[in-house]
Structure 1
Amino acid sequence: MRIAVVAGPDAGHAIPAIALAERLSAAGDEVIVFTGTRWADIRAARADGLPPVAIAELPGLDLVDSDGDDTDAGARLSVRAARMTTALTPLLEAQSVDLVVCDVITVCGGWSAQLLGLPWIELSPHPLYEPSRGLPPIGSGLAPGTGVGGRVRDTLMRAATARSRRLGERQRAVARESVGLPGDDPGPGARLVATLPALEVPRPDWPDNAHVVGPLLWEPTDLTTEPPAGDGPLVVVAPSTAHTGVADLLETALEALDPEATGRPLRLVVSALAEPAIPLPDWAIATTGRQDALLAAASVAICGGGHGMLAKCLTAGVPVVTVPGGGDQWELANRAQRAGVGVCVRPLTPATLRSAVAQVLDVPTIRAAARAAGASGDLTDPVAVCRAVVGAHRDDPAGDRR
């Protein structure tokens, strides 16, 4: 098959898309990823052998906002998506693809597929964030309410967010109609939910076409780094790559984990896509090398709670101290804490961070829970899902010509 994978350029979305593309390529498919072009350069710099995957520029990333769509979430995901759909559709047609897989927030991929009569799949690079009649609104960080009081709380919270959701649906319908699609979106042929079962929340209305496929992890480098010398616990600090991440995480971690303050010989590695802008003490180093290799030796990781790093830590069986910022980090940090795999820190101070790290290091059950989470649950093969969706389309092609 020839498959197009469409995702935005941010690491939390581009990396899972590339990881999926490599899985599909290794299975014998021809794959092209439409995303930010810097990922082509990053991937080309890898010296180790990788499955062949083409990376092309996702059109419209540099569109000039003339309607305020970069300050209104609904318009940004709808009006701007319509412009990107117009630019992307002829590129997909020229590639003669059999299937489109699009990131959950890069909706132009699905819209273009519908215009071309192609089957398409939605990729969620995190847990399923669809609203549910059995959960509080996603982003609250709350566990599902129990008892009469808890159910009433969740019902009232869902009602409070319903107006915003309806507004977003109306904006999206207008944008779809502007490119020649019906306002009512029939949805994808399948949903790939790229998370660990331990990070999902049971819901009574799980979609029949949603499949938990496990985290789609990918290392943007083949460089490995030796941690600092010594036998003290190794702490990996991974500042968030998201613009909504907490500021000053690294500075606070250096103050909080100074061996003179902790009373224990900690070793610290700062892991990021770029070198830090501040000097480091002799008990800490910085690296842009592979995180999976570092985590294999780590005792604890400090991160913002973004799904990519959180899933990578748990896959390695490493407990986490999360310092959530905006976006979905608060939701995920609280899910991780409820699962017993780490500690959520807010507000961020040297004292609160130091205490959280000490708790994770000193409570064996937290590490045990992290190891169990990394090995939890049955997963569906995403390649098999792609094959099934294309097969169903070939059996009933009219079903996807919306």
Structure 2
Amino acid sequence: MASIVVTAMPFAGHARPIRAVTAELVRRGHSVRAYTGRAYVEMFESVGARGIPWRAAPDFDERDLAATFPRMRGRKGPRQVLHNLEDLFIGTAAAQTEDLLAAYEDEPWDVLVGDPLALGTRFAAERTRSRWATLAPVPAWLPGRGIPPAGLGLRPATGATGLVRDAVLTQVTRFAMTPVDRAYQRARAEAGLPGTRVGFPTMWYSPQLLISPGAPSLDYPRTDLPGHVRFVGDLMDDGGESAIPRSSLPAWWDDVESAQLPVVHVTQGTANVDPSDLIRPTIDALADEELLLVVGLGHRTAPLRGALPANVRVAEMIPYQELLPRTSVVITNGGFGGVVQALRHDVPLVVAGGDLDKPEIAARIDWLGAGVDLGTGTPRPRAIKAAYRRVSTDASFRSRAARLGADLRALGGARAAAHLIEGMR
């Protein structure tokens, strides 16, 4: 039995997949502690881990980031990305390290396993000279030959022109990330660590083991992926999806089970949750279509006001293991966890990727032929309707989604991730 500490940033989209791997480690008999925000400690304790809440680190409410990080107030797009990196992820790293070192002094771990955006994981591993792995709930896109720099939502280019484009953009990206690199060096000094030549974008990841969701086939082709990067498919796949109690399903669930029309699901994820970005335009777009539109609001979006079309059903959270096998198309903002779960169930997508990593995900889905990239996070209803009709009537989209789904299912999910972690002891 190993003593393992896992870290998870206190966001639903991070905590849930990391909890799935934690549950598998607990089932295998390991002693697991989970370092996360107070809002998610009970979630980890419910699967048998011991919670370590943020104490020195400034715990925050993911529904109101600006209350703790004022520069993020009203921000979207590149400014939001920059402030996320500098204030939330890098700015809390030294305090996270303090919490983790206290946990290590109380009970040394054998292996430290961390959310890449919980940078205190890296710092604590360096301070204690520990074996450590990155467990990424979001895509881990390392730079490489033949692919454009991540973050711009670009597809691979070919020929001499493409090589020049990528070389220029790589230099521009490095320059743009100079403030992030400087903030990272300051955080290292605050955590009692020396400076390093490692910087953006590799500073988030363990050089020993990087467990990534997804599959090689879900990324652009490349020949130089480091050997310590291991893909495991869908982290929410634990190999034994049990039936959900009827009491956990929406009151209207019988409408889904008995539907004779296509079931379409729309989700806006858990980060930017203004329903006017994607949910409302999708409802308007599909109000007159012959389908059942299932809207997942997430736990941060306020209830929708006003009357809804007769073909719309709304709930805060909907168990995907029940919904996705019955779904024909998913319309999404591009959150990677939801995208991977949809593909694992062979469901094609319409993606409205606005910011953060979403444009990258949307571009890959479109390039792979498993869906349509709307090219914006705030699409018009007319664009959504056209994309839905294209994806729902062209069988090639479902065929390509199914091929990706087969790849994802073969990689093992949470069980494979746990096995890799066990190998680090």
| TM-score bracket for this pair, using the shorter chain length | 0.7 to 0.9
Report if aligned partners of 2:58, 2:92 keep a CA contact under 8 Å in 1: no
What are the equivalent positions in structure 2 for 1:4-43 lying under 5 Å apart?
4-41=5-42
Deviates more, 1:203-212 or 1:160-169: 160-169
Report if aligned partners of 2:44, 2:50 keep a CA contact under 8 Å in 1: no
In structure 2, distance between residues paired with 1:269 and 1:379: 29
1:83, distance to aligned residue in structure 2 (A): 2.4
1:166, distance to aligned residue in structure 2 (A): 4.5
Unaligned runs of 5+ in 1: 45-49, 391-402
Deviates more, 1:116-125 or 1:185-194: 185-194
Output one character per residue of 1:197-249: Cα deviation in whole Å (capped at 9) or x when no partner.
33222333312211111121179x86235252541110111122113777431
What are the equivalent positions in structure 2 for 1:309-388 lying under 5 Å apart?
309-347=338-376, 348-376=379-407, 379=411, 381-388=416-423
Output one character per residue of 1:358-397: Cα deviation in whole Å (capped at 9) or x when no partner.
111100111111111111166372223212222xxxxxxx
State the partner residue of 1:52.
Answer: 48
Report if aligned partners of 1:6, 1:58 keep a CA contact under 8 Å in 2: no
Report if aligned partners of 1:245, 1:325 keep a CA contact under 8 Å in 2: no
What are the equivalent positions in structure 2 for 1:254-273 lying under 5 Å apart?
254-259=283-288, 262=289, 265-273=290-298
1:13, distance to aligned residue in structure 2 (A): 1.3
Percent of matched pairs sharing the same residue: 28
What are the equivalent positions in structure 2 for 1:182-221 lying under 5 Å apart?
182-184=194-196, 187-217=206-236
1:68, distance to aligned residue in structure 2 (A): 6.9
Output one character per residue of 1:158-185: Cα deviation in whole Å (capped at 9) or x when no partner.
0111123444334323321332222226
In structure 2, distance between residues paired with 1:117 and 1:224: 46
In structure 2, distance between residues paired with 1:89 and 1:163: 33
TM-score (norm: length of structure 2): 0.81
Report if aligned partners of 1:322, 1:343 keep a CA contact under 8 Å in 2: yes
What are the equivalent positions in structure 2 for 1:63-142 lying under 5 Å apart?
71=83, 73-74=85-86, 76-142=88-154
* Partner amino acid, structure 1, of 2:58: L
TM-score (norm: length of structure 1): 0.86
In structure 1, distance between residues paired with 2:113 and 2:32: 10
Output one character per residue of 1:16-38: Cα deviation in whole Å (capped at 9) or x when no partner.
21111112112221212212333
1:281 aligns with 2:309: yes
The secondary structure found in structure 2 opposite 1:376 is helix
In structure 2, distance between residues paired with 1:248 and 1:173: 36
State the partner residue of 2:169.
Answer: 157
* Partner amino acid, structure 2, of 1:353: I
In structure 2, distance between residues paired with 1:215 and 1:43: 19
Output one character per residue of 1:315-336: Cα deviation in whole Å (capped at 9) or x when no partner.
1111111111210001001101
Note closer, same or farther for the CA distance 1:227–1:329 as it changes in structure 2 (3 Å cut): farther
The secondary structure found in structure 1 opposite 2:326 is coil
* Partner amino acid, structure 1, of 2:363: N
State the partner residue of 1:389.
Answer: 424
Output one character per residue of 1:258-279: Cα deviation in whole Å (capped at 9) or x when no partner.
12xx3xx211111233473334
Note closer, same or farther for the CA distance 1:245–1:316 as it changes in structure 2 (3 Å cut): farther
In structure 1, distance between residues paired with 2:411 and 2:341: 16
* Partner amino acid, structure 1, of 2:10: P
State the partner residue of 1:251.
Answer: 280
In structure 2, distance between residues paired with 1:242 and 1:230: 31
In structure 2, distance between residues paired with 1:24 and 1:120: 15
State the partner residue of 2:64.
Answer: none
The secondary structure found in structure 1 opposite 2:222 is coil
In structure 1, distance between residues paired with 2:95 and 2:274: 28
The number of aligned residues is: 380
In structure 2, distance between residues paired with 1:118 and 1:302: 42
Output one character per residue of 1:260-311: Cα deviation in whole Å (capped at 9) or x when no partner.
xx3xx21111123347333433322122231221111011111101101100
1:71, distance to aligned residue in structure 2 (A): 3.5
Deviates more, 1:373-382 or 1:105-114: 373-382
State the partner residue of 1:399.
Answer: none
State the partner residue of 1:397.
Answer: none
In structure 1, distance between residues paired with 2:346 and 2:361: 17
Note closer, same or farther for the CA distance 1:240–1:76 as it changes in structure 2 (3 Å cut): closer
* Partner amino acid, structure 2, of 1:382: A
1:75, distance to aligned residue in structure 2 (A): 5.3
Deviates more, 1:351-360 or 1:381-390: 381-390
In structure 1, distance between residues paired with 2:99 and 2:385: 49
State the partner residue of 1:231.
Answer: 260
The secondary structure found in structure 2 opposite 1:211 is strand
Unaligned runs of 5+ in 2: 61-66, 73-81
